[in-house]
Amino acid sequence: MVFLAACTFQTKHRGYVFPSDVESVVANIKTTSQLTQEIGSPQVKTIYGDEVWIYYGVDENYRGPIPLKYDNKTVLLAWVDGNKVTDIRILHDADLPDVMISEDETPIPAAIELNALQELFNNIGRFSPAGLGQ
């Protein structure tokens, strides 16, 4: 019974849900108001260089004990000049590079490394008992 429960399949969508015909939807967009009406507000706007509005959507697939997999990745980039949209590019899975995330940790300068026992004794007296209003 536990084995069957671990084999469930679940897909969660993260970010924007683009229409299946996103290329034809954005083909005639010329203004930012049209873009926000058709796609919505951007997740990110660049602050350096050209103003680019960025939209991102991806499906997360959970298949029991199998590692999490991301597919149907879509990135929409819209170059904006004032109220005009000067260029739109749509990138899909094949257009996006695979980025390997390092398992190493970034060292923090002047960080104090404590073991579990030191952490325990370091926290004594830091917390007040519940209900004392302090």
134 pLDDT band, cuts 50/70/90, is: low
Beta strand segments in the chain, E? 9-15, 44-45, 51-63, 66-81, 84-91
pLDDT on residue 52 = 92
User: How far apart (Å, rounded) are the C-alpha atoms in residues 40 and 38?
Assistant: 6
When comparing pLDDT for 77 and 131, which is higher?
A: 77
The count of other CB atoms within 10 Å of the CB of residue 21 is 9
**Coil/strand/helix, residue 93:** helix
**pLDDT surpassing 60 at residue 133:** no
Record the tokens describing residue 86, joined without a space: 């000067």
In this prediction the pTM is 0.61
